[in-house]
Amino acid sequence: MNSFWFAYYCVCLACSMLKTSALTESIAASQSLRDGETMVSNGGSFELGFFSPGNSKNRYLGIWYKNIPVRTIVWVANRKNPIKDMSGSLMINSTGSLLLSDGTNTVVWSTYSTRIPQSPVAQLLDSGNLVVRDIKDGDADSYLWQSFDYPSDTLLPGMKLGWNLRTHLNRRLSSWKSSDDPSPGELSNGIELDAYPQGVMRKGSRKYFRGGPWNGLRFSGAPELKSNPLFDFKFVSNQDEVYYQYRLLNTSVITRLVLNETTSTRQRYVWAEPDMSWKLYASVPRDYCDTYGLCGANGICIISDSPVCKCLEGFKPNFPQSWDAMDWSRGCIHNEPLDCRRKHGFIKFSGLKLPDTTYSWVNESMNLWECREECLKNCSCTAYTNSDIRGGGNGCALWFGDLVDIKQVSGGGQDLYIRMPTPHRENRSPVQIAMIVVPIASVCGLLLGVCYCFRQKLKPKGENEEDDHPDVFQGEDLDLPLFDLGTVARATENFSMNKKLGEGGFGPVYKGLLVDGQNIAVKRLSMSSGQGVNEFKNEVKLIAKLQHRNLVKLLGCCIEGDQKIVIYEYMPNGSLDSFLFDQTRGPSLDWSKRFNIICGIGRGLLYLHQDSRLRIIHRDLKASNVLLDDELNPKISDFGMARTFGGDQVAENTRRIVGTYGYMAPEYALYGLFSVKSDVFSFGILLLEIVSGKKNRGFDPSQNHHNLIGYAWQLWTEGRPLELVDSSLDYRLIQPEVKRCIHVGLLCVQQNPEDRPNMSTVVLMLNGESYLPQPKQPGLLIDVVPSETCSSSSKNESCSVTDFTITTLEAR
């Protein structure tokens, strides 16, 4: 009898074991993984299954280390949508999509495959990567989807932290909210795509910690990244990808990098045997000096000093009283202001974490001397260094504007050359100085007087009087090359009609070719335009100070007599509207290109609103003011209508409403009130136009809609948003991304400006990194009718608006 019961017990135990281990490393289309069952990688390193974190009763699908006694989660699928009971089930369908459902068959999480497989299978690899692949595909490393592309709070060896620029995928870590809640917390960490890419940890939208740019060997603020017996690492930056990655050298050691909300640090741990506990290898922030921007502009943080903040050599506190009270937020300014009419030099600083690269420029082919000369050419350039310090140094990185978040790095860091007024190295007595200065000043004064009289004599009659075209740049230093009229005329074949690209708001635009072979775009202010001078001056002054990959680059200007000309980089693909609303060229903009354009415009607008030296409201964002380079990357142009805001200013009112009907926010069209949120409204319309391939104005009236917004809103409320998509697109391949864009567009065009997201949130939303609330109905839809004095054409729609037709969108 005892042997019978023993045998019975063994059979039951075997059945129980069979139930929990029947699924090993993969599931096929005919199988599912239920709560209570697990999938184990082939080498037994990782396990996938359902779990409840901490004291929570919610169920999540996750991956954890198989052989570590204390369960350590490295990835969670349904972070935002927990299952309330143990009814969860994971399956893979015939199209290669993973579907996680609850007991009511409601899908709480899913993936999407970019191509249809013949025999899809979901497999947990021994690296901790959950992949979907086609077993009919001969390439075992070709995945339809992988969890490594969608990290949670943990970076494992072999994972990439950063961007796939071809698919616009941004792999960022985000912390758990708490030990009981794996949904994304405030902390996130990733690579930011500035001209000189850098590692940045954010707390919400605010920069919290910055590791600095990659200098060829390591991030400039991460001295602990050096050769070691445990792991090696690399940083890749090219036209396809920008990412950081590390891999194990000693496979007997287990490591992970985790973003921890509770301690507010990013930590790398090492699993060490035989004591079976996590050992800390390094963590950031390391000390007080790692607080982002602690010492303000042009300040440096030295942790061994007291106080830790001081101004860089050659600088002084901007507000001495606040500085002495240890409020360093207002930073430092030059002891002697930089004057571009004088010679400048540079002071070399060593052992630094390089400053924030938001306002930077990089050329990998320049040497250090060429880099110095390039910086001297531009008065806005404040510092330079090698972008790569390997082999004695190569490449060039320039900074523009204030230098922020500099730290003295013990045992690491690198050199930085900061611009200064050329110092006087000889100490002379006042008498000696007077003996030198007085004669020189006398001679210069005499020469200036003669030149002035000579010029006045040569001036045409009436030029000394105020007129409609004053010298708008008199007394202003634009830090911008000046072209002579002859050079511009030769470049455009004397402004030939054959070279004309189009007609802007205040004059024609021509294509030109300089003697060095560079193509240029030449915007010539129409002499008959009475109001154009101010806009011309505004555009040149603003854009001369801007540096961003998604803003058109100003190369120079020409000011001779009544000629006012701006010279831009040439955009070979013209304006976005020439593609978007053209039946022939439109289909060439597939969804990947359109999404790249949407994201690029968003980043450019974010720079104007938040990251540029001036807070700039564009006020005329539209498809014809977005230019496309040879790779169809977008660049915002035409800053004639733009306005600058002070640091604390959030809105302004104007009686002169300028812009383009069809793109104006209601509060601006009705009351002249504009802000960053009025630009957000214009961006929302432009986004919906890019998705649909249709203009907001001139929408088919047979649809009983006054414009595109009304049609988009109806489709959204009826649960049919994808019907908005341009018929030339195969939207089936990218449904989640398209739907997210439509969702963001509707959030941007909400009637109340306070309901609209700011551009930093918009950029996060577009990349799937932020929660999307339900949009409120647009409310007032403005159909603006131009007055008789406002000219309108397909190429010139900017005007002052005086008459309105207002329609109210009724709730459905």
Q: Is pLDDT larger for residue 726 or for residue 77?
A: 77
479: confidence class by pLDDT, cuts 50, 70, 90? low
Whole-angstrom CA distances from 205 to 75, 144, 186, 757, 760 are: 23, 32, 9, 12, 7
Radius of gyration of the chain (CA): 31
Distance set, CA 144 to CA 103, 114, 128, 160, 738 (Å): 27, 7, 16, 17, 19
75, 130 Cβ separation under 8 angstroms: yes
326 vs 309: CA distance, rounded Å: 8
Angle at 360 between CA 219 and CA 423, to 5 degrees: 100
pLDDT tens track for 501-529: 877 656 788 999 988 889 999 988 765 55
Closest CA to 620 of 583, 663, 577: 663
Q: Three-state DSSP class for 707?
A: coil
Query: Tell me, what's the pLDDT at 800?
Result: 38
337-341, 346-350, 384-388: which has the minimum mean pLDDT? Answer: 337-341
Cβ-contact 310, 304 below 8 angstroms: no
Enclosing H/E stretch for 231: strand 231-237
pLDDT at position 794: 36
Summarize the confidence of residues 122-136 as an average pLDDT: 93
pLDDT of 733: 57
Crossing angle for the helix pair 759-766 and 676-692, to the nearest 10 degrees: 30
Question: What is the structure's pLDDT at 602?
Answer: 94
Higher per-residue confidence, 53 vs 12: 53
Residue with tokens 């927990």: 82
Quick one: DSSP state of residue 84? S
Greater pLDDT, 15 or 225: 225
Q: Between 238 and 639, where is the model more confident?
A: 238
Q: Is the pLDDT of residue 236 over 50?
A: yes
As a whole number of angstroms, the distance between CA 262 and CA 186 comes to 11
Quote the tokens at residue 592. Answer: 């990947």
Cross-strand bridge partners of residue 102? none
Question: Which tokens sit at 297?
Answer: 């502009």
Distance CA 81, CA 677 (A): 31
| Maximum pairwise Cα distance, the chain | 128
Instruction: Identify the pLDDT of residue 423.
Output: 55
* CA dist., res. 714 & res. 812, Å (int): 8
For the stretch 584-630, pLDDT in tens is 888 888 898 999 999 999 999 998 888 776 678 888 899 989 999 98
**Can you read off the two tokens belonging to residue 310?**
């001081």
pLDDT band for position 658 (cuts 50, 70, 90): low
Q: Is the pLDDT of residue 169 over 50?
A: yes
Is pLDDT larger for residue 469 or for residue 719? 719
Domains by residue range for the chain, with CATH: 1-149 (2.90.10.10), 151-286 (2.90.10), 289-421 (no CATH), 480-570 (3.30.200.20), 576-808 (1.10.510.10)
pLDDT band, very low/low/confident/very high, at 379 (cuts 50, 70, 90): confident
With a cut of 50, say whether residue 792 has pLDDT above it. no
Among 271-275, 446-450, 480-484, 754-758, the minimum mean pLDDT is found in 271-275
CA proximity to 387, closest of 417, 409, 344: 417
- Structure tokens that stand for 338 in this block: 């930089």
Tokens of residue 128, six digits: 């901790």
- Amino acid 803: pLDDT: 35
Q: What share of the chain is helix, strand, coil (3-state, %, to 5)?
A: 25, 30, 45
Q: How far is CA 234 from the centre of its chain?
A: 22
Work out whether the CA dihedral 459, 461, 463, 468 comes out positive or negative.
negative
Give the pLDDT mean for 707-712: 88
Amino acid found at 291: T
pLDDT in tens, 546-596: 778 899 888 888 877 778 888 888 999 989 998 998 888 888 888 989 999
Say what percent of the chain tops pLDDT 70. 76
Packed helices 676-692 and 591-606: angle between N→C axes, nearest 10 degrees: 170
Report the pLDDT value the prediction gives residue 789, as an integer from 0 to 100: 34
Q: Which of 687, 683, 669 has its CA nearest to residue 780? A: 669
60: three-class secondary structure by DSSP = strand
- Helix H, strand E, coil C: the string for 601-624 is HHHHHHHHHHHCCCEEECCCCCHH
User: Bigger pLDDT: 140 or 406?
Assistant: 406
Mean pLDDT over the full length of the chain: 80
Would you please indicate which residues are annotated as catalytic (active-site) residues?
Answer: 620
Q: Nearest to residue 659, comparing CAs of 672, 645, 644?
A: 672
Q: What is the pLDDT of residue 809?
A: 39
Q: Is 150 helix (H, G, I), strand (E, B) or coil?
A: coil
User: Which positions ≥6 away from 663 have C-beta within 8 Å?
Assistant: 620, 621, 622, 681, 682, 685, 686, 696
- Could you list the beta-strand ranges (E) of 496-544: 500-504, 507-513, 519-524
The alpha carbon of 628 is separated from its chain's Cα centroid by a whole number of angstroms, namely 18
List CB contacts of 17: < 8 A, sequence separation 6 or more. none
Q: Which single residue is written with the structure tokens 């511009």?
A: 488
Separation between Cα atoms, residue 528 and residue 791, nearest integer Å: 14
Mean per-residue pLDDT, 635-659: 61
pLDDT class of 478 with cuts at 50, 70, 90: low
Are 804 and 784 a contacting pair, CB within 8 Å?
A: yes
Asked if 241 and 162 count as a contact pair (C-beta separation under 8 A), the reply is yes
DSSP codes, 252-284: TSEEEEEEETTTTEEEEEEEETTTTEEEEEEEE
Q: Where is pLDDT greater, at 222 or 271?
A: 222
What distance in Å separates the CA atoms of residue 715 and residue 739, rounded to the nearest whole number?
11
Half-sphere exposure of 205 (CA within 13 A, CB side): 14
Mean pLDDT to the nearest integer, 49-66: 95
Tokens 């790569």 sit on residue: 388
The pLDDT assigned to 531 comes to: 44
Q: Measured between alpha carbons, how far is 154 from 173 in angstroms, rounded to an integer?
A: 7
CA neighbor of 708 nearest in space, from 730, 727, 693:
693
Please provide residue 729's backbone torsions phi and psi, each rounded to the nearest 5 degrees: -100, 145
Residue 652 pLDDT: 54
Q: What is the pLDDT of residue 154?
A: 95
Q: In 3-state terms, what secondary structure has residue 320?
A: helix
**Residues 6 or more apart whose Cβ sits within 8 Å of residue 302:** 289, 308, 310, 407, 408
What's the pLDDT band for 272 if we cut at 50, 70, 90?
Answer: very low
